[in-house]
Amino acid sequence: MKKNIIKGITLLAIPALILGACKKIDVTDGVVEIFNITDSRTNVTFQFVDAVTGEKLDMNGNEDIQIRLGGQNAEDVTDNFGNKNFGSEYGLLSLAIPGYLTPSESNIVEFTLHATANGYLPSSTDIVLFDEGLKSITIPMISTSNAPQDVRLTTDVLSGVSSAGELNANYTLSPGLSNSGTTAEVNILAGTKLMDKNGIGVTGNVDVELAYFDPNGKSTFTSLPGDLTRAPISSGGYVRFNTIGAISLDMFAGTKEVKNFDTPIQMTMSIPSGSQKMDGTDIVAGDNLGIYSYDEENSEWTLESTETVSYNTSTGLLEVTFPMSHLSTWQVAEGEKEPGNLSFNNVTFTANCQDYFLNTTNIEISFWYGMSGHYFPWGYKEVARFSFDSPMKIKTGKTSGPWHWNLFYKWNRKSDTTDVIWGEADYGKNITVDLPESWCVYDIEKFKIKLSTYCPDTPNRLSRPSIPVYAVEEGKFFVPGSEKLLGYMKQGELETSTAVLEKGKKYTLYTIYQFKLVFLTGSLDNFDFGSRLVDGKDIDLSRPLTQKECAYLKG
């Protein structure tokens, strides 16, 4: 997907992002109010960050993040104006769920977000929505030049490919050892033909990139495609994976991607000591494990074969060797069939400062699972949605058999990620979270952020947008983790408080228009991010647009 980005203009476009949406005419005053064309009550914003540094991606356009949606409801998902212009600007993306598909427990909305970025491993994230409102999800991506220790990655150039696409000599490649002392090794025999997706042999030098994911590492469960606790499979239904190891192998001959081989190549993956099966017993030589490949086009896993675990006397580790007829992400795993229906836990919040928590986004929630004191990230990280009127619901993915891992819910303040509280639940247990006194902010002042605008040639047509609104303290836009999701502005108004935006400080306010980052406090004419002082009073961003701004936004 080609992104049509005008740097500078995109940065500074102000809040006229509603010019192309549908119009609702109020005949009593001649005002035209602009609403989301999808009549959406559910919006999802994504932020793409470096898995190691936490820095936002695509800040200068170098990563060139590309987005594709797949899965069950992919065709129904749009941008905030009913279009399919999916793309990330400054590491941000906003999507809308149309009103006719408003998610609930009885109408679960599912899709997979596939993202690629220059210098990063591809990412595929399963999104499951079961309640309406504004969601904010962080997606970490792994840099090929600065991968975490539990993801071992190596690159190489394979030469000696004949004009027919055949290797002239045997080829072997392996990344370094992970924290568990494990790795993977690919072996390609001489004479093997390397082919593109159409079965045509590639020629010339071939760039090879092999990544190994340590199953004991925390990065594996956020790096592998989809939700490993409830993964769609090609034979139908869902599987909960107990991943023993995984790899991602990519090969390119110039712009041509190698996808298939006339003779399967061989991959050997070592197994960390102490690895266990779902029943709690140790994996031993002679056990059979499933070999799964990921089909990005259909956003699902396929069971390719079942292979036997062997013992390597040289390394002293167990290992599995399996054939690969095509390239994608592969994993060695146990797969337990799951029922199609989801189960949910209710999380009830209590606090002595409810007014603060009703308006804050300074707290993040992340999901973990594990046993015996070993916890692994599960799914993706969200900004917590607090309500004292009704519990927050979290999907748990009930297993069909007696085996399951409890889920652990971790909350922390964004301003101090070491200040953490934990909650634990299984599929039959709800939890209550007592938010600590130290997290409270008292003597808060509530205020509104308002926005309406118009073009010079239509002064009687006021536009009042419905958009997600972010804030960042003046001068800190490029600081990782400094942004705050204020909420979803509806018909030109958003309520917040001095518990979220600190009194006496200046903030830059911005939103996402299709794949453009739009600074609401800025100006298109003079290249200014802009900012507003928070004094506890309403902030009115309303102003007329210039003809230049209108021409750009209408175009």
Q: What is the DSSP string of 452-478?
A: -B--TT-TT--B---EEEEEEETT-TT
Residues 245 and 317 in one domain: yes
Residues 325 and 382 in one domain: no
Residues 298 and 265 in one domain: yes
Instruction: State how beta strands 109-116 and 66-70 pair.
Output: antiparallel
Establish if 474 belongs to a structural domain: no
Distance CA 427, CA 399 (A): 9
pLDDT at 554: 63
Contacts of 16 by beta carbon, 8 Å cutoff, 6+ apart: 453, 455, 463, 545, 549, 550, 553
Residues 387 and 269 in one domain: no
Residues 316 and 385 in one domain: no
Establish if 551 belongs to a structural domain: no
Distance CA 222, CA 180 (A): 18
Residues 296 and 430 in one domain: no
Establish if 550 belongs to a structural domain: no
pLDDT at 362: 65
Residues 423 and 323 in one domain: no
- Identify the three-state secondary structure at position 62: coil
Establish if 173 belongs to a structural domain: yes
Residue finishing a domain among 407, 439, 471: 439
CB 148 within 8 A of CB 217: yes
> Which residues does residue 69 pair with via DSSP β-bridges, in sequence order?
113
Domain that holds residue 241: 151-338
Establish if 481 belongs to a structural domain: no
Residues 396 and 287 in one domain: no
Establish if 362 belongs to a structural domain: yes
Establish if 261 belongs to a structural domain: yes
Q: What is the largest CA-CA distance in the chain?
A: 85
In angstroms, how far is CA 133 from the centroid of its own chain? 18
Tokens read off for 173 = 């490649």
Residue finishing a domain among 404, 439, 474: 439
Q: CATH no. for residue 233?
A: 2.60.220
Residues 177 and 269 in one domain: yes
Establish if 395 belongs to a structural domain: yes
Shortest CA distance to 215 belongs to which of 317, 323, 93?
317
Tokens read off for 523 = 């100006």
Per-residue pLDDT of the chain (555 residues; tens, 9 = 90+): 332 222 222 222 333 343 333 333 222 233 333 334 446 778 888 889 898 888 888 877 788 888 899 988 999 998 766 677 677 777 888 888 888 888 888 898 999 999 999 999 998 888 888 888 778 788 889 999 998 888 999 999 998 788 888 988 999 999 989 888 999 999 999 999 999 989 999 988 999 999 999 988 877 767 788 878 778 899 988 888 889 999 999 999 988 899 999 999 999 999 999 898 888 789 999 999 999 999 988 889 999 999 999 999 999 999 999 999 999 999 999 987 776 667 777 777 777 776 666 556 667 766 665 554 445 555 555 666 555 556 677 766 554 444 455 666 677 766 676 777 777 766 567 777 777 777 777 778 889 999 998 888 888 888 888 888 889 999 988 787 788 888 888 889 998 888 888 899 999 998 876 556 778 998 765 667 899 999 999 999 998 888 877 776 665
* Rounded alpha-carbon distances, angstroms, from residue 24 to 37, 356, 460, 461, 493: 10, 34, 14, 11, 17
Residues 334 and 376 in one domain: no
Residues 330 and 362 in one domain: no
Residues 208 and 280 in one domain: yes
Residue finishing a domain among 408, 439, 470: 439
Provide the domain count of the chain: 2
